[in-house]
Amino acid sequence: GAVVSQHPSWVICKSGTSVKIECRSLDFQATTMFWYRQFPKQSLMLMATSNEGSKATYEQGVEKDKFLINHASLTLSTLTVTSAHPEDSSFYICSARGQTRDTQYFGPGTRLTVL
């Protein structure tokens, strides 16, 4: 149980285009999901908290208009990188909160490369 999927697993896009990444909790409902960004050989950096049915809460320094988050159902959150640029290239990982408040189950990540 507690499986989280992400789609796509990798994407290459041209500079200026927008990319949508999906995060799904497959066998449980998640009212809260989190989006992280990870650079090579570094730890995870929390970008935002996604709450079902309400606006996402962004961490300091993360541009809301750049990284659009939608959590329309209890099993799906999406992250859209708008007008992507090469500096947005990174590994994006989502997680879903489990029944225990502190527990998060992570997706396999999405590798974004912006040319």
**109 is a site residue for other proteins (CB under 8 A):** yes
- Of positions 12, 18, 39, 46, contacts other proteins by CB under 8 A: 46
The sign one gets for the Cα dihedral 98, 96, 48, 39 is positive
Q: Which is nearer to other proteins, 30 or 114 (CB)?
A: 30
**87 is a site residue for other proteins (CB under 8 A):** no
- The string of DSSP letters for 81-96 reads E-S--GGG-EEEEEEE
The CA distance from 9 to 7, in Å, is 5
**49 is a site residue for other proteins (CB under 8 A):** yes
The CA distance from 56 to 92, in Å, is 16
- Of positions 75, 104, 112, 114, contacts other proteins by CB under 8 A: 104
- Of positions 1, 43, 61, 65, contacts other proteins by CB under 8 A: 43
For 109, other C-beta atoms within 10 Å of its C-beta total: 18
- Of positions 15, 29, 83, 103, contacts other proteins by CB under 8 A: 103
The CA distance from 22 to 76, in Å, is 7
Residues that bind other proteins (CB under 8 A): 4, 6, 32, 34, 41-46, 49, 91, 93, 95, 97, 100-109, 111
